[in-house]
Amino acid sequence: MSLGSFLTSLGAVAVVLGVMILVHEFGHYAAAKFFGVRVEQFALGFGKRLFGFRKGETDYRVNLLPLGGYVKMSGENPLDTPTGDPREFLSHPRWHRFIIAIAGPAMNILLAIGLLTGIYMVRYEHAAYMDQPAVVGWVQDNSPAQKAGIQAGDRIVRIDNLLNPTWEDALYKILLSPNQPLDIAVERGSQVLTKRVVPEKVGKDEVGDAGLEPEQVINISAVEAGMPAAKAGIEPGDELVSVGDTPIHSAQGLIRRLQDNGAKPIEVRVLREGQERAFTVTPVLDKERGDGAYRIGVLPGSRIHVDKLPFRQALLRSLQENKRNSLLVFELVQKMIQRKVSMRQMSGPIGIAQASGEAVRQKGWTPILTLMAMISLQLGLFNLFPIPILDGGVILLLILEGLMRRDISLTVKERIYKAAFVFLVLFAVLVIYNDLTKAIPALGG
């Protein structure tokens, strides 16, 4: 990674995580202030105070270690001796404390909903096939899908318990199922056939891959100067219709058709400004590639769909998308606990920095705002997990105390918090180690 890319990633992750943490802690702060709880510190980061200012009774500060943030309220530590001050956290009824605890994650979830709503209202670009029915455009040779008998043209009508999935739904299911059998029902003509596919574990993140490529419209993203396509008159933006007598619905389908044809002249039909045009090209052998592939000098790409929705529709779509992403998070955690997927699918600060840098380098604001929405949702959900020290742990203890109608003893709480602290430290080390093994492959062995 170049110095410029590193600095871009560093700046991007500082903004992304800074906004997420600020919004989260503001939720706690606003709820505490609303109920009259004294807030002593509003901090970004941990450790030694670097700079800040004091206003009223609160010290607003930025600390040395940029690994989170906190809102320190008077009397919130259950191990401290309460003084009975009505403005202390523990002096307030449990339902006040419950709302203060849940306000942070709630703000992150609301931010995710708001960001996606705004994106959908202004301009959301994505591959057109992602929200289309899952029709197979290509099946890779010797892939799990081919071994299971899935063919190009099949429409996936069920994948496990999910009916009529879009390609986005189907791809997420496959990604979260490495080495795990998936029951897939496909519609082929008038028949519905059930297949069992076991996606392979691939990549640094060890995600699942079944060897399927979506059926989609293939646009020419770029044309290489001096190559057969350019000489014939094919232009960027043309939509591929067919090569020879074969309709083209996937990039792999184009590649295979050219290899089968070899160095013989072949007709390529495209759509340009709504009119179909035909060009004759003669593929050339790429001598620089070890596989001896035949090429015509085009870069195939996906048709891009642009959403620009009114507020109500944008909000409804944002709610649906965040609901789907939430269920995917819970499914991923469940499979990790069951050891069905690798912990390497998780990303920490380094992974987020890399993703943030890549998003910033892409054209427009959509990629970085979409990433922020995803991270904000995941941060909100993670903080709701019933782990003491996290907001979810505080909420769980409040619920238990409410059911018992008495406080849990300080001795028990102390042991719970110590165990939780050790767990979180080990978890943080594991996540950062995962990031390092993916960024520096030699560490992964």
Q: What is the pLDDT of residue 425?
A: 79
CATH number of the domain encompassing residue 198: 2.30.42.10
Instruction: Outline where DSSP puts E strands in 74-154.
Output: 124-127, 136-139
Q: Which of 302, 329, 351 is the last residue of a domain?
A: 302
In a domain, 142, yes or no: yes
Q: What is the pLDDT of residue 4?
A: 65
Same domain, residue pair 115 and 14: yes
Average pLDDT over residues 4-13: 72
In a domain, 14, yes or no: yes
Share of the chain residues as helix, strand and coil, in percent rounded to the nearest 5: 45, 25, 30
Instruction: Outline where DSSP puts E strands in 109-206.
Output: 124-127, 136-139, 155-159, 162-163, 182-188, 191-197, 200-202
Q: Which of 204-208, 234-238, 260-264 has the lowest mean pLDDT?
A: 204-208
Q: pTM value?
A: 0.82
In a domain, 321, yes or no: no
Average pLDDT, the chain: 88
In a domain, 20, yes or no: yes
Q: What is the distance between the alpha carbons of residues 303 and 219, in angstroms, rounded to a whole number?
A: 6
Q: What is the pLDDT of residue 265?
A: 94
In a domain, 241, yes or no: yes
Q: Which of 278, 302, 326 is the last residue of a domain?
A: 302
**Of residues 329, 428, 320, 343, the one with CA closest to residue 377:** 329
Same domain, residue pair 24 and 90: yes
At 160-182, the pLDDT tens digits run 989 999 999 999 999 999 999 99
In a domain, 400, yes or no: yes
In a domain, 324, yes or no: no
pLDDT at 218 > cutoff 70 = yes
Same domain, residue pair 7 and 101: yes
Residues designated catalytic: 25
Q: Which of 302, 332, 357 is the last residue of a domain?
A: 302
Q: What is the pLDDT of residue 76?
A: 82
Residue range(s) defining the domain that contains residue 115: 3-38+74-121+365-444
At 238-280, the pLDDT tens digits run 999 999 999 999 999 999 999 999 999 999 999 999 899 999 9
Same domain, residue pair 375 and 425: yes
At 314-363, the pLDDT tens digits run 999 999 999 999 998 888 888 888 888 777 777 767 777 777 777 777 77
Q: What is the distance between the alpha carbons of residues 265 and 282, in angstroms, rounded to a whole number?
A: 4
Same domain, residue pair 278 and 210: no
> 78 falls in which pLDDT band (50, 70, 90)?
low
Q: What is the distance between the alpha carbons of residues 37 and 40, in angstroms, rounded to a whole number?
A: 10
Q: What is the pLDDT of residue 363?
A: 76
Q: What is the distance between the alpha carbons of residues 332 and 342, in angstroms, rounded to a whole number?
A: 10
In a domain, 115, yes or no: yes
Helix (H, G, I), strand (E, B) or coil at 243: strand
Same domain, residue pair 102 and 197: no
Same domain, residue pair 170 and 267: no
Q: Which of 201-210, 277-286, 309-318, 331-340 has the lowest mean pLDDT?
A: 331-340
Q: What is the distance between the alpha carbons of residues 94 and 309, in angstroms, rounded to a whole number?
A: 41
Q: Which of 91-95, 151-155, 265-269, 429-433 has the lowest mean pLDDT?
A: 429-433
Same domain, residue pair 136 and 184: yes
Same domain, residue pair 225 and 197: no
Q: What is the distance between the alpha carbons of residues 46 and 63, in angstroms, rounded to a whole number?
A: 5
Q: What is the pLDDT of residue 241?
A: 94
Judge whether 398 and 156 are in contact, CB under 8 Å: no
Same domain, residue pair 195 and 181: yes
Average pLDDT over residues 215-219: 92
Same domain, residue pair 100 and 171: no
Q: What is the pLDDT of residue 290?
A: 55
Domain count, the chain: 3
Phi-psi region of 375 (alpha: psi -120 to 50; beta: other; left: phi over 0): alpha
Same domain, residue pair 152 and 174: yes
Average pLDDT over residues 361-369: 82
